[in-house]
Structures are given as C-alpha cells and as structure tokens.
C-alpha cells in the first residue's frame, strides 16, 4: 500500500513524458487522476492504521544493495518504508495538498509536458521522505526533490525566478551536505543486528529473529566478539535509534567520547542535522531563501512549497535529529527553543511590514513554523504533539492562503496589498474564504491554528529545559499575526471598491474550480479545530513512546 503512494505519481509522470505533444490537453487530467488516486490510497492507509500501536506499521522491506567489503564489513541498503503516528498526519496532508495543487495547475499554459511530469515527480519524492525508514532512501528522496522544485520555480516563476530558484537550490544543498556527513558517520557506527546474526550463524534467515537473539548480538558486539568482516552496517533508522546497535568506540557511539572542535562527536552530529533541516523548516537566520522562492514561484508551486515542503524540515529533524540524538536534543533544547522564539517574533514583524501579499504570507510561515521548533524543543508530550499538529494545520492554512493570493493575481497580475479596497462588495465568496483563512491562521479558537499553537505553548511552558519567559515571548507571535492579518483584511476588503490596476472590471468572484480548491481546505481547517483528536489520536501513542524512551536514555 505504501509503495503504491510512490509508484502512482511516478507512473503518471512517465505517462506524461511518453505521450506526444499533440495530446497536451491530457497532461493535466493525468496529474489530476494520479493525485486523486494518491489521496484515495492515503485514505485507505488511514483506515487500516491502528492508532493504539506506537511502532511502525505497514512495513515493506526488501534487500536493495548488499556488498561485502572485507574488513570493512558488509554494505547493506534496504528499500524500507513504513509509517507511524508522526508520519501519517503528514502523509495525509501531502495527499490533500498535492491534489489541490494539481487543480491549481490548470492555469499553467506553457511547457505543459515538462510541468506536469515534474509536478508528479515532486509528489513521489515528498511522499518518499515521509515513509522512508532507511536513511539512505530518505536522503535520496530529500535530495531528488531539489531537481523538480528548481525547474518548477526557475521555468514557471516570476521575473526573478532564476535568482530565486538557484538560491533555493544552494541553500537546501548546503543543508543536505551536512546531513550526508552525519548519515555516513551513522552508517559506519551502526550494525544491523538481524543480518549480523545471520552472518555469525545464530539464525538461518530473518524470519527466525527474536528479541533475545538481537540482545545476544548486541552483547557480542559490546564485548568485541564479532569480527569486522562479519558486521553488516545499516542505514535502517529503527536500528540507528537503539544504542545497543552502535559499535564500541565508533565515531557516533553512545559514549560520544571523540571530541572535534571542542564538541563531543554526537553533539556535533546533532548540530549538523539540525542545521540541515533548519534551512528547510526554515529557521531564522536560514530563512532568506523562502520569501524569494514564494514570491517568484507560480501559485501551485507556492502551495506545495508552503503546504508540504517546509514540513519535511520539521519532520526530518524530529525523526532523525531528535530520534537518533536525544542526548543532543536535551543538551541544546534552550538553543533550539530560542531560535524558535526568534523565528516566531522576527517572522511576525517582517510580515507586518510587507506590502506584497505573497511575501506577507511567506513571513507568516516563518513565524508559524517557529512554533513547530519550539514544540519539539520542549521535549514534552504536549509540545511534540502540538508540533506535529501545527505542521498539519499550517499545511492546510498556508495552501489556502497562497491559493487565495493566486486567485487575485490571476485576475489583476498585482499582489500589492495597497492596490485594493472594498473587495467585499464585488467578491463576497472570496472575501468570506479569505476571512476564514486569516482568522484560522491568527489562532482563532474553533480553527486548527489555535490548537497547534496552544499545545506547543503548553508544552514549552511546562518543559523542564525551557524558562517560562520564552513561552511568554512566543505569545507575541499570536498578537503580531492578528495585527498583520486583520490589518490586511481591513485595507483590502472594507470600504468602497477601488483598485490601482486597470483590471478592476475583472475582479469577479470565485469560479467553480476555485471553490472546489478552497472550500474543502476551509472545511478541513474547521474540522481540525473542532475535533483535534482526528490528529492527536494518530500521533499520541507514538509520541508517548518517544518521550518514554527519551526519559530512559
């Protein structure tokens, strides 16, 4: 079932490439059907997922690369996918946002084959990041998504698209290099206890493995009783999260006795992982690529970028940064929370200063994703659940906000806030949905934005690692959000109708296609706000297990 989430968009992309240019009107239908099937499979995954089970579910695995290297042991890379309560909400979010982006893509009118092939390829790589449980596989998806995003911004973006696309590419690539270094170090430090048990003759195949045998292999490893050529190194994130699978005296072993640049090796690795994902999240001061990318990207790409791609930064840090280096998370909790608070406040003040609607929403994303970092840094069940919820909520709301901006831009080719007055008189449905998106984003009770921010603040306030004043300062982000959203609403929609552009006569209300994109997102924001257990029931068991393991370690 999870593999189909990867292969449906890949097959759709291949079909678009193979069809002749004379059938270009079919491309958008292929994208729409593929993304619709993707969402249906996401629904099926949700239906069979057991929320009471904290471990990974729907696991699929087969040997991909296995290469003996003599005294260096055996290289083992697996195709390994699975989900848990942290990844499932983001998989569901991806299915919904990519379908909405496919509907929004109907306005694209040039290089249709390339656009739709790249869009479907991007869909597969994003889903792959959320379901991959092999670090090497995750890294492949994480890196490969740069390619379609680079071209989608660089070929279909605004006047400064080349600058924005290369800036996005270089920033993300720099973060990827840091993650790559840590991935290689982890691989050299960790063994696969199952394959190693087979190699040393304890079992004949994987079906015979038991917990006792795995512990026996770990004891043999700790006592230096396994020869190096018999060790099977692994990228499996499940084994990397268990301290007993680390080679004694290895670079990233649990003791962390190797010191580099005055830092224990594990602390240095944690910081590298954090920096790599902080760029994608993004965290101030690594955020400067985001406003440029959003302003220049076409509307569907902005929807995907804000709705899903930023969440890979939060998810990656949670899964790999905190999941593999809980000691680093505790050591630098104050630093992470501080950067989260700075992002919340700095992003809010910048959003308040913007005259471009798209740039205002981009800076609001920086502010709202700061709550995600603050929740993760709290190292509490409430905070981490709130961070996962905030990612899902922000994905829905930011997608809606960029779609609303695109509706206006399609009519007038002008995104300046001060170019409009009194839009409520001629675009009532558009005004109503914009008000819903604004109020939900500023944290009005009853909408999803309120729940995510509330739980991250609750978690940070009761955290043993964070001072209470940080939570107090973070609440300033909510006040700033109310200021820039309500001020924008007042300036653009109230009073007599006026527009600076010559397209005033084209300020018509929403079309059927636009309503089809926006109304489901508004309903989803309301449902998640009124029934937060729709997501909390998915994530709670997994987060509780993580918190318990963290407390033990």
Q: For the residues of 59-106, what is the DSSP string, one character each? A: EEEEEEEEEE-GGG-EEEEEEEEEE-TTHHHHHHHHHHHHHHHHHHGG
Domain match, 93 and 145 both: yes
Residue 553 has pLDDT above 60, yes or no: no
User: Residue 415, Cα to own-chain centre: how many angstroms?
Assistant: 27
pLDDT at 434: 96
Residue 362 has pLDDT above 60, yes or no: yes
Domain match, 265 and 375 both: no
Residue 208 has pLDDT above 90, yes or no: no
Domain match, 184 and 104 both: yes
**Average pLDDT of the chain, as a whole number:** 91
Number of domains in the chain: 2
Domain match, 61 and 166 both: yes
Could you read off the pLDDT of 377-415 as tens digits, one per residue? 999 999 999 999 999 999 999 999 999 999 999 888 889
Residue 128 has pLDDT above 80, yes or no: yes
> What residue numbers bound the domain in which 69 lies?
1-191+231-298
Q: Is residue 200 part of a domain?
A: no
Domain match, 336 and 255 both: no
Domain boundary among 281, 298, 315: 298
pLDDT at 551: 62
Q: Is residue 118 part of a domain?
A: yes
Please, which pLDDT band fits residue 437 given cuts at 50, 70 and 90?
A: very high
Do 541 and 85 touch, CB atoms closer than 8 A?
A: yes
Please, which pLDDT band fits residue 535 given cuts at 50, 70 and 90?
A: very high
Could you read off the pLDDT of 47-87 as tens digits, one per residue? 999 999 989 999 999 888 888 777 667 788 889 999 999 99
Domain match, 267 and 397 both: no
Domain match, 465 and 342 both: yes
pLDDT at 221: 87
Q: Is residue 515 part of a domain?
A: yes
Backbone torsions φ then ψ of 263, nearest 5 degrees: -120, 140
pLDDT at 249: 80
Q: Is residue 313 part of a domain?
A: no
Nearest to 415 by CA among 360, 364, 486, 363: 360
* CA–CA gap between residue 384 and residue 291 (Å, rounded): 27
Domain match, 336 and 290 both: no
- pTM value? 0.94
């Amino acid at each position: 079932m999870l593999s189909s989430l990867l292969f449906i968009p890949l097959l759709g992309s291949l079909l678009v490439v193979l069809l002749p240019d004379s059938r270009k009107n079919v491309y958008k239908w292929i994208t729409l059907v593929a993304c619709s099937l993707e969402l249906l499979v996401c629904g099926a995954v949700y239906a069979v997922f057991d929320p009471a089970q904290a471990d990974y579910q729907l696991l699929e695995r087969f040997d991909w690369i296995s290469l003996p290297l003599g005294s260096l042991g055996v290289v083992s890379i697996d195709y390994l996918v699975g989900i848990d309560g942290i990844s499932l909400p983001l998989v569901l979010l991806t299915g919904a946002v990519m379908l909405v982006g496919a509907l929004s893509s109907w306005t694209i009118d040039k290089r249709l084959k390339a656009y739709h092939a790249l869009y479907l390829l991007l869909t597969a790589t994003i889903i792959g990041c959320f379901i991959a449980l092999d670090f090497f596989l995750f890294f492949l998806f994480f890196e490969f998504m740069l390619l379609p995003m680079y071209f989608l911004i660089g070929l279909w973006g605004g006047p400064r698209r080349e600058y924005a696309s290369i800036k996005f590419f270089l920033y993300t690539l720099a973060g990827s290099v840091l993650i790559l270094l840590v991935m290689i170090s982890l691989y050299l430090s960790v063994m696969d206890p199952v394959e190693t048990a087979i190699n040393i003759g304890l079992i004949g195949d994987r079906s015979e493995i038991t917990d006792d045998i795995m512990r026996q292999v770990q004891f043999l490893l700790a006592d230096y009783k396994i020869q190096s050529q018999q060790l099977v190194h692994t990228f499996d994130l499940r084994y990397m999260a268990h301290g007993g699978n680390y080679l004694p005296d290895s670079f990233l072993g649990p003791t962390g006795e190797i010191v580099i640049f005055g830092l224990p090796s594990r602390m240095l690795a944690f910081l590298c992982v954090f920096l790599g994902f902080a760029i994608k999240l993004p965290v101030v001061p690594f955020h400067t690529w985001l406003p440029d990318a959003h302003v220049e990207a076409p509307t569907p790409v902005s929807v995907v970028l804000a709705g899903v791609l930023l969440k890979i930064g939060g998810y990656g840090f949670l899964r790999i940064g905190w999941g593999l280096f809980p000691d680093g998370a505790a050591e630098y909790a104050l630093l992470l929370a501080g950067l989260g608070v700075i992002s919340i406040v700095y992003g809010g003040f910048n959003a308040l200063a913007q005259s471009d609607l798209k740039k205002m929403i981009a800076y609001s994303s920086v502010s709202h994703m700061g709550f995600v970092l603050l929740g993760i840094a709290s190292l509490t069940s409430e905070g981490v659940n709130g961070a996962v919820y905030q990612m899902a909520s922000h994905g829905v709301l930011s997608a809606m906000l960029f779609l609303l901006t695109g509706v206006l831009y399609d009519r007038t080719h002008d995104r300046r806030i001060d170019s409009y007055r009194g839009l409520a008189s001629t675009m009532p449905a558009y005004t109503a949905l914009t008000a819903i998106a604004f109020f939900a984003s500023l944290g009005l009770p009853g909408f999803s934005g309120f729940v995510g921010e509330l739980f991250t603040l609750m978690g940070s306030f009761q955290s043993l690692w964070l001072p209470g004043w940080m939570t107090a300062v973070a609440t300033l982000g909510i006040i700033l959000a109310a200021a820039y959203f309500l001020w924008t609403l007042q300036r653009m929609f109230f009073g007599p109708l006026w527009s600076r552009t010559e397209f005033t006569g084209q300020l018509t209300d929403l079309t059927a296609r636009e309503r089809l994109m926006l109304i489901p997102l508004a309903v989803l924001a309301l449902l998640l706000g009124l029934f937060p257990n729709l997501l909390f029931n998915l994530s709670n068991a997994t987060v509780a297990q993580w918190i318990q393991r963290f407390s033990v370690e």
